[in-house]
Amino acid sequence: MADIIAMFGRWAKSGLLSLLDGSSSSSSSAEPTRGGHAFDEFQRIMRMLPRIKAVLEDAEEREIQDRSVKLWLSELRCLAYDIDDVIDEYEYDVQAAQMEVRVAEESYHRVKHKRGDDEHYDQDEHVEGINTLAFSSSQVPAISYCMVEKLREIQKKFDHIERDRKGLHLREDDGVRRTASAQNYRLTSSLVDESNIIGRKREKEKIVKLLLSDLQVSNKITVIPVVGMGGVGKTTLAQLIYNDPRICQYFDLRIWIYVSEDFHLVKLTKEIYRSTTNKSCEEDVGFDYLQDSIKKELMKFKSIFLVLDDMWNENQCLWESFLIPLHSAGIVNILFTTRNKKVVDVIRTTNIFHLGFLSENQGWCLFQQRALCDDENLMKIGQKIVNKCGGLPLAIKLLGSHLRFEKDEDKWMCILESELWDLDPGTNEIFPALKLSYQMLPIHLKPCFRYCSLFPKKRIPDKNHLIWLWMAQGYIQPKIRGKTMEEIGREYFDELLGRSLFQATKYGNNFEMHDLVYDLAVSISNNEFIIMKSEGDNQNNCRSNNARHLAVHDEPTNNEALKGILAFPFLSRLVALRSIFCYDRRIINDFQLLDSTRLRVLHIEINQFDSNFSKFNGSIASMKHLRYLFFCSLNLRAHHWTKVALPSLFNSLHSIGNVQVLDLCHYDDPIILPSSIKNLINLRHLILPHGSVMPCGISKLTCLQTLKCVVVKDGDHEGGGLGEIEDLASLTGNCCISGIAYANNVEDFKKANINGKKHIRGLLIDWQNLTCYDKFDVHIYFDAKNQVKKKSFELEEVKLEALRPHNNLKALEIHNYPGMLFPSWLGDPSYSKLQDITLQGCNKWDGSGKVLDRDLPCLQSISIIQCGMLKNIEVVQSSSLKRLVIRSCLQITSLHWLCSLHRLEKLEIRICDNLFFSAEEILPSTLQFVCFEDCFKLTSIPGLQNLPSLKELKLKRCPSLELTLEEKLSTIPSVLEIVDCPRLKIWCLRYRFKYFQVCLISPQILCFSFDYHFLNYPLPTKFYNILFYCFGYR
């Protein structure tokens, strides 16, 4: 139901109602195709939406058990989908009419331009033409007879459903509120049997030490949240900490409160009152009396430890009111557990502890403890069961308990192969524990979560594609003026991540769902979702005609098997499908899309396509509702694809004007888009195979935010130049413009209007071409085959001057710039939001010009890499700079300004042969990370002994560097690496630091000490040949 509720925002903001209000007066005299009162019918349908929303929204919050009521709600959902389709179809007609007017206007202005110098040009004709176009653009397209019939049918269905509502007596008190239904089984206390706990010792020690570290600070409230998904062991960890002897000894008063979903302020205050006074509390006692009594009582205690188990409160005012009487105590340490990081944001604490899953070994120990298994075959199955649980203690304990003393191997296999939701509801604690996370989601997030059930397990799309899919289904609607759907979608995603329903990975925008959370999404997806698995009988048994989303997973064993599966004999009945995902990697035979005209999403990943492609594209041409088209086919026959498939697909572009995402990047060869691409005025994200030519007419796509990866070819009549992006003011995110050395048309640089792209946050300008471009949202590059007509420093400087970005820029990188001077805009104070500057491979720049000598208030990082002519540079960024990297700048001699960087935290200097520090060049005392490598003339580092916050120190291959025995570090860093600095050996011995002698390097000498594995440490490139030759000789 939440899927439908999410649509209401789009309906309310569609503007159709006001459009129709302005046109209804003219409808009375309209032609018969308007159905007499067709506009009135449309308005009536639009106005019934709030009534539908109210019913579905309330039902979403209740546990409806009555089957007749469930059926009634199902019919209401279907009706809402029909209304959405009709509204969307009419919006499409309005858009098509506006497109026709625009084409007429463009044609008119072209004629005007050609005849502008004609002395016989008729001015009266000119005025008449403008008036005609103005009149045409104000018209609302007629409602077709077919649509009139749909409107009448919808009204009949609604009247019928309304009569059923009265007959079923559906009232607000039907069903119980879900939030109250799950509390009894989840009540917790502070008592715990520690002998049954596996793992968590390291986590407990870390938190206990943190709790005891602030005991000397009076009148302070310290809050430590433990965050993790349901069933991961947050309560168990809190119990272990609560009963730790050190906690019992140091705190005068300990209180345990189970909070649950309802942060009832009076109820919680009464709990505090009972715990502090050891008195019962009458029901009608006043809140003021309670808080005042608690305040007086707490003044008797020097230190208090409070555990709040299972917190869900997101209201900051309630939290602050709860804390008021606690301020009277000397020291208050609060530990609370939660699944929702948004709760932590309300508390405003920095001490966040994220509780992870058990290790594989810990999980197996816990399972053995519960299952008491010693049979070798059963243990092998048990290992697989533990892996299935993914380190979630609750699931491991439950399944181990189910198999306790069980010797039947078939029953073990049954547990392994079954879904956890199929276990006995009376003993299954996993399902309610995890389902609560879903039930507590805001209504707008529920369809976003359920939609994830369509993807194969372990293959959740990256963050951007997932948001685009939500957009295509209408789940995301802007609520705040100035925010795009993508920005709102990122907030949705981050909230699901904060609620532990998604898990972050180390791969940037890629995330994953725990297997059990994924299974939860599958279990709560109703008969609107069909997941087909090409494993014979192992298919979803649901064949409801009301299905809206279809996904095909896995690979078949042979083509014949696939033909029987993907032909889908029941698919012809699923005329209302809104999503089709095909993840099969072999072949699609007779993929039946002809009747799926209501599709919003079509996502296909295959390796072969032997069906009639014209039939397939003919289906796409009828999908006027389509928002998202993803096509991945890496092994198609190039000739068939290029000569037949692509032209057929592109000929359909004019009829899918609602498409927002067109992703064709997973194809080996470049493609050339036709000029009809300009008709996709709603297109927001265009992703093409590497090397695809810049489409002509793309400047009309003013909604475009993502554009990758397109090449600009000089003299190519089939493609456009860089100037095509002139009007694309919505381009967003990280932008890369590369291969600038191969560009000739400087005027095209100016026309591109990079300065007008206010949503670009990161900009990389590279004179060479990149090989890695995945991290960019906009990637445009010039073809290396372009014939460069002339080269000069001045020409390159003009190019860079023309690429001046907008003042909203946060990160700037300039690579391989061949000019001698940077333009005046680099370092301009107007770039007040700039946080990161990287200059790399700028070999003609010697430090001249005002580049980094003006203080930018937000600049945090400067990287200067491979600037071979750089001798001296002035950096004045004392107010904000935290990171400075200088690498492979062989001519630089001094950093005399370094001591003025009062907020610098990280300093990295590598391969600077001539760098020398004088006694006045002192390191800033704020440094936490210091690295000097391959600095042959560096003899001293003044100020190294005065770094109280030092965490990491690396000194490598600096043969002249020497520290006196009096230069003692003020603190011992957690990471200390001193390698091949022979004059520091005595200093290391004096302070018992570990010293590694890998090889002694000087400009003339290279020798080895084989008492350490020297390959662990990289050497300068110029020594590699010598190194491996000598090693081979030995």
Q: How far apart are CA 482 and CA 333, in angstroms?
A: 41
CB 821 within 8 A of CB 797: yes
Q: Which residues contact 396 (CB under 8 A, 6 or more apart)?
A: 358, 363, 366, 367, 370, 386, 389
72, 76, 82, 87: CA torsion to nearest 10: 170
* pLDDT value for 817: 94
Q: Name the strand (E) or helix (H) holding 315.
A: none
Q: How far apart are CA 573 and CA 413, in angstroms?
A: 37
Q: How far apart are CA 834 and CA 705, in angstroms?
A: 21
Structure tokens of 140? 């609302």
The beta-strand segments (E) located in 783-876 are: 811-815, 836-840, 861-865
Q: Which residues contact 684 (CB under 8 A, 6 or more apart)?
A: 468, 486, 660, 661, 703, 704, 705, 706, 730
Domain 182-354 classified CATH 3.30.56.10? no
Q: Which amino acid makes up residue 885? A: V
Task: Provide, for the chain, the percentages of residues in helix, strand and coil under a 3-state DSSP scheme, each rounded to the nearest 5.
Answer: 40, 15, 45
Q: How far apart are CA 168 and CA 276, in angstroms?
A: 52
Q: How far apart are CA 48 and CA 495, in angstroms?
A: 32
* pLDDT value for 562: 39
Start-to-end C-alpha separation, the chain: 74
- Is cis: bond before 958, omega within 30 of 0? no
10-residue mean pLDDT profile of the chain (1034 residues): values are 58 52 45 54 76 77 73 83 85 80 70 55 43 46 77 84 72 51 64 87 91 71 90 93 93 91 88 87 84 88 91 90 87 91 82 89 90 84 89 88 82 79 63 84 91 88 94 83 88 91 79 88 85 56 70 58 44 72 61 68 74 58 86 60 58 79 82 82 91 86 92 73 92 94 88 94 91 84 78 87 95 94 89 94 88 86 94 83 95 90 94 91 94 95 93 95 90 92 93 82 40 40 41 33
Q: Which residues contact 1021 (CB under 8 A, 6 or more apart)?
A: none
Q: What is the DSSP string of 424-464?
A: -TTT--HHHHHHHHHHTS-GGGHHHHHHGGGSPTT-PPPHH
Burial 416-455 (b: 16+ CB within 10 A, else e): eeeebbebeeeeebbbebbbbbbbbbeebbbbbbbbbbbb
Cα–Cα distance list, 65 to 169, 177, 239, 422, 423 (Å): 14, 12, 37, 19, 20
Q: Write down the residue that tokens 């200059």 correspond to.
A: 839
Q: pTM for the full model?
A: 0.83
* pLDDT value for 810: 96
In sequence order, which ranges of 530-602 are alpha helices (DSSP H)? Answer: 559-566
**How would you write 829-855 as a 3-class SS string?**
CCCCCCCEEEEECCCCCCCCCCCCCCC
* pLDDT value for 664: 86
* pLDDT value for 885: 97
Q: What is the DSSP string of 222-279?
A: EEEEEE--TTSSHHHHHHHHHT-HHHHHH-SEEEEEEEES---HHHHHHHHHHHHH--
Q: Which residues contact 628 (CB under 8 A, 6 or more apart)?
A: 468, 469, 471, 472, 600, 601, 602, 603, 659, 660, 661
Q: Which amino acid makes up residue 75? A: E
* pLDDT value for 669: 75
Domain boundaries, the chain: 2-177, 182-354, 360-432
Structure tokens of 425? 């509801």
CB 769 within 8 A of CB 741: no
* pLDDT value for 52: 81
